[in-house]
A and B are shown apart, each in its own frame.
Chain A
Amino acid sequence: MNRDHLRILLPVLSLAILLAAVFYLQPRAMSYFGLNLLFNLAVPVALATIAQMMILMVNDIDLSIGTFVSFCACVTATFVQSDPVIGYAILLAAILVYAGMGAVIHARGLPAIVVTLGMSFFWSGLAILILPSPGGAAPDWLRAMMKAKPPFLPVAIIAPILIGLIMHYFVKRSSLGVLLRGVGGNAQAIERSGWSVLGLKAIAYGIAGLFGVLAGMALVGLTTSADANIALRYTLLSIAGVILGGGEFTGGRVSPIGAVIGALTLTLAASFLSFLHLSSDWQIGAQGAILILVLAVRLVFTRREALA
């Protein structure tokens, strides 16, 4: 078992333990229908978590992902539904803005935390401009896709598996993935060996933007309509998801499969607490406690690793 395996073991274990607890508390969840209800809202969270992972991978952090997903949800529920051409053009432009943001952050040596915080107001303002009052409608194909009932496994399970595997091969196996991780790990080394860190950062941010767009679309497919504040929670959820899944704030050390599992774990933790009939006053605290517990266990693991 190498380090990567060990790194992924903990998120898998915590998800399994939580899932077992949920099944014990609510046996009804142990069905096709139940699993779908339990996890379908985790799909957009998982996509947003992958977006955040791309940014953390190049040693930055994105505080605008929540408002960006909200913005994409608003565009999807309005333009994509009524004038698809304009709608997709807006979403494409948004991805380019993301890529541009990455380039500017690198070129001017700006702190990503400040730039993305500023951009979060930009996206939030645009979202309100597009959809001043909650409403809009999901495009039919999107709704059908998110509501589809494939045999054996619900969409809510298939989608995270697909997202995790595809990103795993991209980040861990493709040469571009290796370069991107290199940017986060040691940007100077990458620069010296003749690669353009500026271009690579733009690519990383662009991919993050792409996943933000996908998250917004998936979310609208589930909710059927949008709201300018629909995904504000995703900013912190996505960061927590990446870290919970074995990623680290020091760039280059991320695990896509772990990140997806982290997103599922966070969603499940909330359900677990509500099945426990825990009072809402305690829920945020309890959610935090679960997070700290998992991270504490990880610390024990990594210490051992370092000593060994």
Chain B
Amino acid sequence: MTFKTMLLGVIAGTVIVASGHAMADTADKRIAFSNNYAGNSWRQAMLESWEKVAGAAAKNGTVAAADAFTTSENQATEQAAQIQNMILQGYDAIVIDAASPTAINGAIREACDAGIIVVSFDGIVTEPCAWRIAVDFKQMGRDQIKYLEKRYPDGGNLLEIRGLAGVFVDDEISAGIHEGVEGTKFKIVGSVHGDWAQDVAQKAVAGILPSLPEIAGVVTQGGDGYGAAQAFAAANRPTPTIIMGNRQDELKWWSEQNAKNGYETTSLSIAPGVSTLAFWVAQQILDGADVAKDLTVPILRVDQGDLEKMLKSTPEGSVANVEYSLDDAKNLIKSTK
């Protein structure tokens, strides 16, 4: 080997290393998505978002593969088996929406031991070796009161619509609402369970309305705002400010009311596109970024200003959605450090 060829080799090597950096270090990495359930509109939108964003990233070479797998039944044992299969298939990272926060910990431990990056979101897991992108449900409750305080500086009576009794999410959002109310001039005069369903919420609100004084605002958990509005209308009572939950029927009703009488409110929920955020976070970890183990999902909020735009982009029967970009993930990682 002459000096010339050695030099050439060194140059070629440097070029390869340099260009590799310029593209992405994750071009040969494969990411799998283990999803436990696909049976409602939120989950369907979530899978579509994944397909759109992660699929495109796989096509343009940012990652080598981004395959989504859904278990056929919403069962922890099945998902554990699915994760173990992913280990065998040699994925570099696994993104998980878990069927149980604890019951797949064993499989996740196996994955971590095999050197696989595990990122859980929405349905998060407690295994310490995994990353968690959790929803701050309490914050969702507090944000509602914050908005109402701005609208009603003098306070007033609130009606609370809760979710499904005994479910963790219901307790958390409600706790956030009650925390928010403390120290304000608001008073929660009634509380019903709407089970996150418009028809149940409508029945429940209609049942409690006759016993209530004038209501200034209705705090909700999503999927119940439209039903509440219908109950108020049926009882011939003035429509209070009902916080919405980003469902298409809720946004549509709000838009119609706004056109009719200038009705204003706000709407907040978690965008199904959070799966794409988890994808980018996993990609960043694979890329060597230093990421805190616990991240918080940003809440997708629809205000009067962007109502029409959001309504247009939300299919009938679905939920308002955004897909997150690589920069969103980078910002989230930076802000949590």
Binding site for B on A (CB under 8 A): 26, 28-29, 34, 37-38, 40-41, 44, 133-136, 219, 222-227, 229-234, 267, 270-271, 274-275, 277, 280, 283-284, 287
Q: Write out, one digit per residue, whether chain B residues 101-122 have a CB within 8 A of any chain A CB (1) or not (0).
A: 1111111011000000000000
Q: How far is the CA of A233 from the CA of B127 in the complex (A)?
A: 23
B72: which A residues are within 8 A, CB to CB? Answer: 280, 283-284, 287
Question: Which positions 80-132 of chain B face chain A at CB distance < 8 Å?
Answer: 80-82, 84-85, 87-90, 100-107, 109-110, 126-127
* B136 in the interface (beta carbon within 8 A): no
Choose from A223, A280, A284 the contact partner of B103 (Cβ within 8 Å). A223
A224: which B residues are within 8 A, CB to CB? Answer: 102, 105-106, 109, 127
Q: Is the CB of B89 within 8 A of A26?
A: yes
A134: which B residues are within 8 A, CB to CB? Answer: 100-103
User: Other than the known A136-B102, A274-B85, A280-B69, what 10 A-B pairs have Cβ atoms closer than 8 Å?
Assistant: A28-B89, A37-B85, A41-B77, A134-B102, A225-B126, A227-B100, A229-B100, A230-B76, A233-B78, A275-B89
Q: Is the CB of B78 within 8 A of A270?
A: yes
Q: Is the CB of B84 within 8 A of A280?
A: no
Q: Write out, one digit per residue, whether chain B residues 166-186 have a CB within 8 A of any chain A CB (1) or not (0).
A: 001000000000000000000
Q: Is the CB of B103 within 8 A of A267?
A: no
Pull 15 A–B residue pairs with CB atoms less than 8 Å apart, ordered by A. Answer: A26-B88, A34-B88, A37-B110, A38-B84, A134-B100, A135-B101, A135-B126, A219-B77, A223-B76, A224-B102, A224-B106, A225-B105, A227-B102, A229-B100, A232-B75
Q: Is the CB of A230 within 8 A of B81?
A: no
A40-B84 contact given A26-B89, A28-B90, A134-B101, CB 8 Å threshold = yes
- Give the number of A-B contacts (CB < 8 Å): 95
Q: Which 9 A-B pairs have the closest CB atoms?
A: A280-B70, A225-B102, A227-B103, A283-B72, A223-B106, A284-B72, A227-B100, A134-B102, A37-B84
* B149 in the interface (beta carbon within 8 A): no
Q: How far is the CA of A29 from the CA of B70 in the complex (A)?
A: 21
Q: Is the CB of A226 within 8 A of B87?
A: no
A223-B105 contact given A229-B76, A230-B76, A230-B100, CB 8 Å threshold = yes
Tell me which of A225, A275, A287 has the highest count of chain B C-beta atoms within 10 A of its own C-beta: A225
| Chain B interfacial residues counted at CB < 8 A | 33
Q: How far is the CA of A223 from the CA of B81 in the complex (A)?
A: 11
* B73 in the interface (beta carbon within 8 A): yes
Q: Is the CB of A274 within 8 A of B82?
A: yes
B102: which A residues are within 8 A, CB to CB? Answer: 134-136, 223-227
A277: which B residues are within 8 A, CB to CB? Answer: 67
A28-B88 contact given A134-B103, A233-B73, A280-B71, CB 8 Å threshold = yes
Q: How far is the CA of A222 from the CA of B85 in the complex (A)?
A: 15
A275-B90 contact given A222-B80, A223-B103, CB 8 Å threshold = no
Q: How far is the CA of A17 from the CA of B274 in the complex (A)?
A: 41
Q: How far is the CA of A283 from the CA of B73 in the complex (A)?
A: 10
Q: How far is the CA of A57 from the CA of B171 in the complex (A)?
A: 46
A55 to chain B, nearest CB (A): 21
* B38 in the interface (beta carbon within 8 A): yes
Q: Is the CB of B88 within 8 A of A280?
A: no
Q: Is the CB of B90 within 8 A of A233?
A: no
Give the nearest-CB partner of B75 in chain A.
A233
Give the nearest-CB partner of A237 in chain B.
B77
Q: How far is the CA of A12 from the CA of B81 in the complex (A)?
A: 22
Q: Is the CB of A230 within 8 A of B77?
A: yes
B82: which A residues are within 8 A, CB to CB? Answer: 270, 274
B164 to chain A, nearest CB (A): 14
B284 to chain A, nearest CB (A): 26
B32 to chain A, nearest CB (A): 10
Q: How far is the CA of A24 from the CA of B227 in the complex (A)?
A: 54
A280: which B residues are within 8 A, CB to CB? Answer: 38, 69-72
A28: which B residues are within 8 A, CB to CB? Answer: 88-90
Question: Which positions 132-168 of chain B face chain A at CB distance < 8 Å?
Answer: 168
B247 to chain A, nearest CB (A): 25
Q: Is the CB of B77 within 8 A of A233?
A: yes
A283: which B residues are within 8 A, CB to CB? Answer: 72
Give the nearest-CB partner of A132 in chain B.
B166
Q: Is the CB of B85 within 8 A of A226?
A: no
